Amino acid sequence: MGYGFRLKVWGDYACFTRPEMKVERVSYDVITPSAARGLLEAIYWKPAMSWKIDRIHVLNPIKFDNIRRNEVLGTISVSKVKQAMKGEAVELYQDSNEDRAQRASLLLRDVCYCIEAHFEMMKDAGPDDTPEKHYNIALRRIMKGQCYHNPYLGCREFPANFEILEEENLIPASCYSGEKDLGFMLWDLEYSKDPKEEPKPVFYRACMNDGIIDVEKCLCYGGLS
C-alpha cells in the first residue's frame, strides 16, 4: 500500500455496461473496479505488476442520458485473418453499411471520479522489477499525461481526461452524503490458466458512503462469484 496513486478522471459521457441487459447498453450507476483498472493499465502496465483498486470517490452527481447510435454487429473472422497472414487473397475489411444496427443506450453524463489504487508485484517479476522503479515510471507518465492508448470510460468512444492528485487534501468533496446501496456490480473477470476456458465474472455489492466506495470492504462483505 506504500506505492499508491490518487487519480482524478472525468469525461462528458461514460458507459459501464450491465451484462444482464443483453442487446441494449445500460450503464451501471458508477465506474466499475475493472474499468478503473483498465484506465490505469492504459497509462502504465508491465507483466511484473498488477493494479489493485482500493477506493472510488464519486465526485459528480449521477446523471443518465438516453441516446441512439449506430453500432457494427460483428468483427472480422479469425479465419480470414489467418488466410491473409498466409498471403491468400481475402477481403479483410468490414462494410459498416451492411453490418450496422441502431441501438439505444442509457449512458452516464458528466462523470468525475477519484480512483485510489496501488500496485502489487507479481511472482514472475525479475530482479530489476523493483516497486520503486515502477512507481516512479508510473508517476512520471501520469504527470506528463502519457499513455499507451487513450484511456476511456467504459467504451472507447468516451475518452477520459486524467490528472494526479498527490495529496489527500486535494481530493474534491463529493456531492453525496450518507449511505447509498448501488446493488451488485461487476468487480472483475477471473481468467483460468487454460486458454480455452472462458473468463469467470465476479460481482460485488457496491455500497457508497459519503460518495466513497471502499472496494476491498465491499468485497469482504458482499463478494459474489
Give the Cα separation of 60 and 37 in Å (integer).
20
Q: Report whether pLDDT(178) > 70.
A: yes
SS3 content of the chain, % helix, strand, coil (to 5): 20, 40, 40
- What confidence tier does 52 reach under pLDDT thresholds 50, 70, 90? very high
CATH number of 4-222: 3.30.70.2660
* pLDDT tens digit sequence for 133-157: 999 999 999 999 999 999 999 999 9
Note the pTM of the prediction, 2 decimals: 0.83
DSSP secondary structure string for all residues of 75-117:
---HHHHHHHHTT--------TTTSEEEEEEEEEEEEEEEEEE
Domain locations in the chain as residue ranges: 4-222
